[in-house]
């Protein structure tokens, strides 16, 4: 039943887009379908010339799960530049999240996704990404296409090795990897010349290759003191 309703919402939003309907009206329909009927559009969204550019759907009621599904129809708002879905219980991301090609700032922290779709690689304008505490243990190879990404927050996931695709992020300046299960870092990380800050505390980086060891000590000479090396 939910999938049928979601399909109808997506179809309706797409059809109304084609008619040039103000996106405030479309967003209201998406919110209602997601169980957010008491949420006021003006409190959570910003528009420019009738197009949705910023949306904050952070769950502020920590005692509740918040959204359990990515809002159906949301990927039709292709002018979105900032999207915040922090502190919800979203279980998966739709493949068509790749439609949101104008996104520059995406916050998915504290959800239950467990994985990221390959279409994520289409978000080539993304500069800041927060995927802390999402139950992630791997990333798709397409993640390496995020050539504009400057800040990547990945604390509190389940990575045992940093995916090699991360070393392809040629604009990355900061990466936060605290509280994973990392036992190794790819050799390619030493070639990330734009990377100025890395946080690897509370991992298992105890037996690195000499090359990676030297590189990491140059970034944080005390990193070894905060590893779980028992």
> Would you state the pLDDT for residue 5?
44
Q: Per-residue pLDDT averaged across 102-107, rounded?
A: 98
- Residues 184/162, Cβ–Cβ less than 8 Å: yes
Residue whose C-alpha is closest to residue 54's, from 44, 62, 65, 63: 44
- Residue 224, both tokens: 């070894």
Residue 15 reports pLDDT greater than 60: no
Residue 10 reports pLDDT greater than 60: no
**Residues 171-226 pLDDT 10s:** 999 999 999 999 999 999 999 999 999 999 999 999 999 999 999 999 999 999 99
* Residue in the structure block whose two tokens are 């957010």: 36
Contacts of 116 (CB under 8 A, 6+ apart): 93, 131, 136, 139, 140, 143
- Residue 172, both tokens: 């990355």
**Residues 143-170 pLDDT 10s:** 999 999 999 999 999 999 999 999 999 9
| Cα distances (Å, whole numbers) of residue 103 to 42, 182, 203, 219 | 20, 29, 31, 30
- Residue 112, both tokens: 């239950």
Q: What fold, for 91-226?
A: 3.80.10
- Residue 213, both tokens: 């060891």
> Would you state the pLDDT for residue 35?
94
| Three-state SS sequence of the chain | CHHHHHHHHHHHHHHHHHCCCCHHHHHHHHHHHCCCCCCCHHHHEEEECCEEEEEECCCCCCCCCCCCCCCCCHHHCCCCCEEECCCCCCCCCCHHHHHCCCCCEEECCCCCCCCCCHHHHHCCCCCEEECCCCCCCCCCHHHHHCCCCCEEECCCCCCCECCHHHHHCCCCCEEECCCCCCCECCHHHHHCCCCCEEECCCCCCCCCCHHHHHHHHHHCCCHHHHCCCC
> Residue 76 phi/psi, 5° resolution?
-85, -10
- Residue 66, both tokens: 């918040």
**This prediction's pTM:** 0.91
Q: Confidence band (pLDDT; 50, 70, 90) for 30?
A: very high
């Amino acid at each position: 039943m939910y999938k049928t309703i979601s399909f109808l919402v997506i179809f309706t939003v797409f059809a109304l887009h084609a008619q040039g309907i103000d996106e405030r009206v479309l967003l209201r329909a998406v919110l209602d379908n997601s169980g957010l009927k008491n949420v006021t559009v003006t409190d959570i969204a910003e528009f420019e010339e009738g197009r949705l550019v910023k949306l904050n759907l952070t769950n502020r009621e920590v005692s509740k799960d918040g959204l359990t599904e990515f809002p159906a129809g949301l990927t039709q708002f292709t002018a979105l530049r900032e999207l915040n879905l922090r502190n919800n219980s979203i279980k998966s991301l739709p493949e068509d999240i790749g439609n949101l090609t104008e996104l520059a700032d995406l916050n998915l922290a504290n959800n239950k996704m467990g994985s990221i779709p390959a279409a994520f690689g289409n978000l080539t304008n993304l500069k800041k990404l927060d995927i802390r505490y999402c139950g992630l243990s791997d990333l798709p190879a397409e993640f390496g296409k995020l050539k504009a990404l400057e800040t990547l927050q990945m604390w509190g996931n389940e990575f045992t090795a940093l995916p090699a695709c991360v070393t392809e992020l040629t604009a990355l300046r900061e990466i936060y990897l605290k509280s994973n299960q990392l036992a190794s870092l790819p050799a390619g990380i030493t070639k990330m010349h734009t990377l100025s800050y890395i946080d690897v505390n509370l991992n298992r980086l105890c037996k690195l290759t000499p090359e990676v060891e030297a590189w990491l000590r140059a970034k944080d000479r005390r990193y070894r003191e905060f590893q779980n090396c028992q």
